[in-house]
Every structure is written in C-alpha cells, then in structure tokens.
Structure 1
Amino acid sequence: MTGEQHLGGKIARICKYCTHHNGPADNRCFHCGAPLAAAVEHGMNKLETVEKAALAAAPVVVPAVAVAGIPLIKDIFKNIPQWIAILGLVALVVIAGIFVVKFSSTGPPAQDTATASTQLPDQLRRAASCQRQADGDRCVIAAGDPLLGGDLYASQDMSFTVQQTTVEGLNDAIKRWRRGADEVVEDDSVFAAVGSEGTVWYANTRTGVRLETTAFATPRAARTFLSRSGLATAPPPGTRR
C-alpha cells in the first residue's frame, strides 16, 4: 500500500516498493515505475475553513446575541432589590436565632474588664476586683486584704466606684466635695478628702478619674485608707513625716 505524507496542504505519494516521494498527480513511481494508489488532494485545511467561517459570521452573530441578552439583564437588575430584601430578612432571622440559642445556653455575656479603674494607684488596683457598670467601674476589696488591715472597714468587704469623666464634670464634683468634706487631705491636681460620713472622695484632674467609697468605720479609718492606698501622698494621722 502506498504511503502518503502531507506537504503544504498537498499529499506526497510514497512508493511502497522503493519509498520514493512522488508528486500528488503521479500514477506511477518516478523511480521504479511501480503503480501508485489514487491521490487525494487537500486544497485547504478543514480547521482553517472553520476558522474563516467563524470569523466571517462574528459581525452578525455577536451583536445579535448581545441584543437578545438585554431584556434578560434588565430583568435581573429589576429583581435585585426584591432579592436583597428577602436575603436580608433571612439573614436577620438566622442571626437572631443564633443569638437566642447562644444567650439561652451560656447566659448573659460577662462584663468587660473595667477601664477607669486601671488609672488608679498600683496598690489599690492590685487589691481591688473591678467590673464595668453603666455609669463607671464598681470595685470591691476583700475584707482580709492588707489594704483594710487594722479593722479599717469593720472586717467587711469594702466597695467603691470609679468613673472617668470630663473636665467640667470633675470640677463640679471637686467643688461639691470641697464644700461637704469633713477633711480635705489634698487639693491640687489631685483632690482627696474624707466626707462627713467617713467616705473617701478622690479626683485626679490629670487622668479625669474620680473615686468615691462607701463609709468607713470612722473618719480616721478613711484617712488611713487614703494614704495606704496611694490615693493621697500625705501620711496617715498619728504618723510623722
């Protein structure tokens, strides 16, 4: 059987006897004279034909597809607000469900760590356990803490509140405390005083922090606590500088 080989879109007919390459129109081998099978001439590559046909049709087909797609695009954009509303409602329902399940299984979230109380002197901050409240930080010092040693608070836990407020609010508090204090211990950038009922009042104009305790056993105990906690630099009563 005669072999065939494509050369530039033509078929070179190869003799099966002497493997001589003959022209596509030859019926016999030019070298040995053996008969050759009928030649099939390829005028053009099929792929090239398809490509040319596609390129020729593109100017007509592409605009037609684009025009046909315009109504579909309009419908999609027309329905977007409705779908957004539906998806948003579904998302809210899912989030609400997750929150209800989490809240019911774990209870209300724990309160954030207090912030205003972090501005207090080190010894007081270490002794107190504080939590954030709506109007500031509420702190508690355990009855057995050395800061309350000497029965300063009748062997009970002592609580106080801390707030970080504006300059105006702090100045108003200082004016009010100054008028009602039983003893003003410091009155500079730091204001520290003992109230008429044995409470401790403290305000720091540099940090904006104000502190107020519940009543101590005696005004003297409150005065000692002011010095021992670092809220006031003056020594406690009965001591020498």
Structure 2
Amino acid sequence: MDTETVSSLGPICDYCLQENLPADTRCARCGAPRPPEQLASDPLDAPEQRTGPVIEEKVLPHPGVQWRASVGAVAHKADNGLRNPGRIIAVILGTGTGIVLVVGGLIVAAVMVLIQLLPSFSAPDVARGTAPRSWADQLRAVSTCQRIHVDERCVLTGGHYLLFGGITGGRDLIFWIRQLPEDPLGVTVRRWRAEGGRILCDKATFIQISPTAAVRYASGPAGVVVETDPFTDSARAQAFLTRFSVFC
C-alpha cells in the first residue's frame, strides 16, 4: 500500500479496526465512539453546534461520592471540635446535666413507688385469715410486750422494716398499750386535745400526733389506748401510721 492510499484512509476504530468516514463520530460496525483526540485534531470532525435554547442538565454525583462527602463533613466538624476544647467541654457538661436529671428523676420515682408499697408490708394479723381487732393487735404482733400492772410496755426493734428510713433515728420504738373502759378513755382523749398537736381523726377512733411527734391512738369500740415515744418529727410519725394502714 503506497503513501497516497494510506493518507486517504479514514479514522480506524480502536475496538474492531473498522475504517470509518472522517465525519463519523461512532464506528459504523461496532458503534464505539471515536477517541476525543481524533475529533479535536480535525476541525471538520468537530460536533455540530446546536442552536436554540440550551437546557441545563443537573448531574447528580455518584452515591459513593456523596458518601465520601458526608464522611468528610463529619471529619471536618470533629476536627473543629478538637481545635475548640471549650465547645467539647460545653457538650460534655450539657450531656452530663441531662444524665443527672434523668437519673435523679428515676430515683425520685423509685422512692415514690416504695412509699406507696410500704403500707402493703404492714404488720401480720394476729389470727391467720382474720382482720385484727385494733391497731394495738397489729403492734403486739410485731413487738415484744411486757405487762406492767394494767399497761403493756412494748418494744419494736430499731432495725425492723416498719421503722425503715430512720423514722426513730435508729432507736427502738417504745409504746404503751392500755385497755380502758369508755369513761376513762374519754378523759384521756380530752387531755390529749388540751395538750395540743395535730389531730388526724376525731371520730369513734381518735388519732393524734402530739407536739413532741409521738403517736396517740384511742379506739372507743375496742376500748384501747396506744401511745408511742416521740419520732424524729411529725412527718415520720405519720409515715409510721401509714405503714400500718391506720387512717381515719
């Protein structure tokens, strides 16, 4: 093949070696595109310029590129945080405060539930399957009592669960039980009223927390009087009554 014949040849396809016309942008046999350098080398082969309005096409980046960009943004923020220790401390303190508030709320909720459940851990009944005749019977069932003349001196040990929460300051609770006829019982109740204190019930059953935070209880139907040593304060004295489910 002479030189003139070679120069007349059109562009050769890089894929199937098919000779194509200079104006072809793709191979006539396999459809492969011509290399850009071939198109740029020949002004006649340049693609036809389009006329009319140009519609802009938005090309979205490949998902992998988007992911790398997101990772880069996170890394950039982390780097900024390392360069600004004050911001890191503020975030840590803010998170710590939130944790403290959540834990504190859980503790308060647990305490409230425990307070509600304490009455259910009341003293056992004297007779199985029957309700006690009075609060005095409940107290006798959980205490050690000794008769002194007409009174009973009873002791509830300081470690007993009914004294949970240090309501006696860790001390044993000493109380007195006395059986009285109706008239002497009324005299006792009038004396308690005169001494003052907070009256919780003033019906057939009289319940009072004295000025010294002692519990005073008198049951007319049962003809019994109970008087305890002082608790640490009036709120804890009332808590003791609540644990026995003693209400008006």
Q: What TM-score results when the alignment is normalised by the length of structure 1? A: 0.45
Larger strand percent = 1
Q: TM-score, normalised by structure 2?
A: 0.44
Higher relative contact order (CA 8 A, sep 6+): 2
